[in-house]
Structure 1
Amino acid sequence: MKHSLFLFLVLIFHVLFTFIPALSLSSDGLALLALKSAVDQPSAAFSDWNDGDVTPCAWSGIVCANISGEEDPRVVGISLAGKSLSGYLPSELGTLRFLRRLNLHDNAFSGVLPAQLSNASALHSLFLHHNNLSGAIPRSLCTLPRLQNLDLSENAFSGHIPDHIGNCKNLQRLILAGNSFSGEIPAGVWPDLQNLLQLDLSANELTGSIPDQIGTLVSLSGTLNLSFNHLSGKLPASLGKLPATVSFDFKNNNLSGEIPQTGSFSNQGPTAFLENPNLCGFPLRKSCSGSDRDFSPGSDQNKPVNRSKGLTPGLIILISAADAVVVALIGLVIVYVYWKKKDDENACSCIRRRKFGEAKGSVCVCGGFPCVSGEKSDDDDDDEEYEVEGGEGEGEGELVRIDKGLSFELDELLRASAYVLGKSGLGIVYKVVLGNGVPVAVRRLGEGGEQRYKEFAAEVMAIGKVKHPNVVRLRAYYWAQDEKLLISDFVSNGNLTHALRGRNGQPTTNLSWSIRLKIAKGTARGLAYLHECSPRKFVHGDIKPSNILLDNDFQPYISDFGLNRLISITGNNPSTGGFMGGALPYTKSSQKERTNNYKAPEARVPGCIPTQKWDVYSFGVVLLEILTGRSPESSPTTSTSMEVPDLVRWVRKGFDQESPLSEMVDPSLLQEVRVKKEVLAVFHIALGCTEGDPEARPRMKTVSENLDKIGT
């Protein structure tokens, strides 16, 4: 009897110690184990998902948070993107009552989207793009009261786009591209989606016309993408009421008729309407009225025109006068060449010729620009002050003042004190104080390109026409056969790189949030002006903190725009970095040893033509550096704890896993608790700028407008 009792107790203890660990796991953990079981093959993504744990909060890809009224932390985020997972989505995910983000994109999940997912009432972001999910969108999905982001693109969903999508009244992003949705686009749902920022229905099997009601999406930004469908009919004029910052993409459809010329339509380029054979009107090269006339049978346009009439007396007189002018010009050219040759024979000779700012000594003029005679002493240094004297002699050199308000002569420029500020592939830069005490920055571009003066002058004049309070102003230029100079405003307080990290890796002053926001707003305004309002609609191509100069009030100035083109004209090889207009000390660290992680991914492909979306990406990286205090530049020889080679990916990972803001933001900003919402808003703008797809990035005008709304 005692032996039997002993065996019974052993059995009880065995059962308890076998099953208690599994029973001790929280309900959230059990729901996650259902996801693990639904995956076809074992995966390293679940290597630390142990059923013996009390909570799943330490599991890979799981984010927990303390919820008011709950004793234990609850699961708020699942991030298992790009893990090559295949299987199905279990209905148990709906039991995660506090789940906010479900991020399973770029896997191979198949089957249907479970309707029970609507029970996860806190869900606001559902990222399931790039899987093999199929079926229809469950009607219950839009009962989720907080759903803001729904990305089901690149799956195999089919059927009609449901009318009940209008119940998702808080939806901000609806991305259904790359599926097999068919039928017409529902008309009545769009007036209810007044928070919608992004709509992408491209690459489906949609038919019928574009609903007029899409024109009611007043919050839309970025791209309205309906391309690669079978849509027909005319473009609704109501779409012109959408914000001016919205870009259209209607290509590869069967749309017809004339493109409206009102509102947002006037801001679109031709690529928005390509591969619609029956569309006509601006900006396409197909005139609606012209095409009708050209191909109408029996039209007078098709009749041959007799143009064999003789010359009129007036035309004969005009031709004779033109011939006389040409003969006179040829004579003047011959006389000029003769006297030019005589002048060269009588020109002065300079021994050991040196140019602007390179040595002390007396000056004579050769080829229209002063060169310095005399030896440079051994104790002279590159960053030393030089006294350069000279005058404006006869010859080819020409000083052209773009800004008439800044009056100075060439000899005044040459006599002034010059300090070396920096050297790079974009030339040597000097600080020069004119006789009236006004400092200017003078950049030497090089010696080549003497045969391309007209091209050089046209580029410089285009740059000189740029007038904006957040862009460095070009005031004058000098051209000679052996010397090219640019004279611009001098900005006194260094650049954003030094303001954030100092000259030795440590900032000289802590930048408050208000100053950082001021720098971000000003830079965005300047860049938006270059893109939208400047004479050439410039693409900067090299936005980074060292090209954002600061004055004593921390007002930002964009520098170095247009310089790569000028350098190519003068025959030099541009490199990264430049110092146009700023107080930037020369350092001997090689820029070539560093990787420019400010560049957009598509900008790193050799031979690509620069676009404004490159600048948007680079500005987004600059914003992330302002927010985090971390540099995205990496060096193969050195690295510090404040360098993050892929800053964009690091921040995105932090948001996907809902990491605390304190882990991402610059520690010096943590005391400014009151601006947490502003910091988060700028983070979201930066992430939008750094989207991998250039089309998904906003225009700089939109970025600037959104930044200006923060803190006001």
Structure 2
Amino acid sequence: MGCRSRHLSLSAILVFIFLACSSPLARPENLNKDVTNLLTAKATLSDEDNPFLQTWDSGSSICLWRGTQWSYMNGTSLNCDDPTVVANQTLLKDPEVVVTSIYLGATGLTGSIPKELGLLSSLHTLWLRENYLRGGIPLEIGNSASLSVLVLDRNGLNSSMPPSLWNLCPRLTILELDSNDLDGEIPVPVNPWTECSQLRELRLENNRLTGEIPSFLGDFTALYAVDLSNNSFSGSIPSDLSKLTNLTTFNVANNNLSGPLPSFMTRYDPSSFTGNPGLCGGPLSAECDGSSPSNRSTPQGSARSPSGGLGPKVVAGIIIGVLSFFVVAGSLLIFLTQARSRVPNEKKQLHVDLKREFDEEETGGDSGKIVHFEGGETLTAEDVLNATGEVLGKTSYGTVYKAKLSNGHTIALRLLREGTARDRGEFVPAIQELGMIRHRNLVPLRAYYSGPKEEKLLVYDYMPRGSLADLLHNGSSGKPGLSWERRHKIVLGAARGLAHLHTGLSTPLIHGNLKSKNILVDDNYIAHLSDYGLEKLMIPAATNDVITAAGTQGYKAPELIKLKKANTKTDIYSLGIVLLEVLTGKRPGKSVDWDEVVDLPAMVKAAVLEEKTADLFDFNIVRGNPRTPSEDGLVQALQLAMGCCAPTAVVRPEITEVIRQLEDIRPKVVSSVQSPPYTPDSASTRSREAFDY
């Protein structure tokens, strides 16, 4: 009897399992149509290890599908903050639930753009910026029923633009395809009456597009930003663009354009047209000839002779012009030859300077000495002194060089100016202390060389992307600006480096000269603080010069006017200024070009009082972004920066609190590799560890 009961029970279980597995709710074919299309797209977009797409699983709630936003077909957003909604597995099969936005920027996507993304009936935003996607843009994307924001820039797309893209009009508001490998001409709309009446941004720069700039762009009258720079467009700029009365940003630099600029182009900066030798007129210094046969008339008394040839006045003018050309060219050649003999080769200048400063045969003193720290053990004095390179910058206390060693490796060298370093008894223990510091967000000191006359040369790692200041303010025309994701990553890295100096050492170390020029960036956009601890190596007078310079540059805390000695709170103030600089894109302090002092905290306060906070943010971090500054953490970052810049030092946050808040406002679309939250242990993590952000 017992065996029979167990047999019946087992049979019941098997029947239950069979019914459950064959029920409509459990079959994959009964999944919501958008869910099915996304699961198909997942296989095309990435490998199995992508942490974002791993969450796209028919066994998990759609609220947990990273990078997606959902709503009901009636327009009501799905409230994924409600735990009951998150737990509702039937949403996967509810035909009324649709995906409305996909944000997968900088998430390591590979492969090609899946055509299934164009089949999502209610998708209005497709954001795949800064990935590794190749191939073309599927025709289905252009035939999407609801798409209005299409952002595919900074990938490897390598085909032509499909004409179907214009089928997204008139819904299309943002089209960003820049920094790819697109070729061919800008396609003509299939429908000649196409009106992109809502299109505000068109960004196609940094591709291989050819042909003429199409005149139909003049019909897209809502445009306020058009960037076609760094392509191979030819012909003239169409006069139809004069209809774009809202156009505030226009860039066609570095193409093959020619002819006179239309008169309405005078309102744009000349840099918008550089790299097109054939362009003339408008804001350009090159004047148009105006003497082409098509434009020239021959009134009575013209230059033509009765026989139809050139008249004597024209012949004389040509002769004089040719002679003038050779006189000017000859003078210029003499000048350049003399200048070349006077100016040393920049690549050899470092070698000459260092040999003169340090070579014992020239100084007659004892030989110099090189002291190694971790990572610099293979360097020799001969390697350093025979390096060739160039000057990167000069300060009141020394010169920084980019130096290339004979083995091809590049390093950075800081030469402390004579009379700025402390005496040997103080310098040696201080440099030994700095040489022991290691942190992934600090530039490591690899060695130092002490010359026969006690001159000092410090050897550091070279950072290929330069400084944060370079990335913010010295960008090339037509190149994409630094994204908010990367700016946040750099500032957070700088804060972690500062935290190590303040809390991760046996004795806290004050930076004392924190600014965007001293935040160096490597190939992976990881921040590395430089110039830390230099006050330990320099005499007080040199340190005072550093503080004074920081004031001129806008980074000095107000209390340093009296204190004359930096501390952790003044470092926090400087970090706050850097964060304001990152958010606004404005360089603090006195302008190099004109007598203007940019007081960033005062500027922010004024904007807040005038209720113009949204106007503060750098265009490069808000352009094309459908999220509000508050949703993207920009407003919170601004509040944090102003807290760091509080006039009263005691109310400024500690560095650990700064890091916590920065981690809380991490951009929603960031690199797929995340770092753990800040802890004292993670603050001292070595630079070779795996996490990147």
Return the TM-score normalized by structure 2.
0.42
Tell me: higher relative CO, structure 1 or 2? Use CA pairs within 8 A at least 6 residues apart.
Answer: 2
Task: Decide which structure has the larger Cα Rg and report it.
Answer: 1
Return the TM-score normalized by structure 1.
0.41
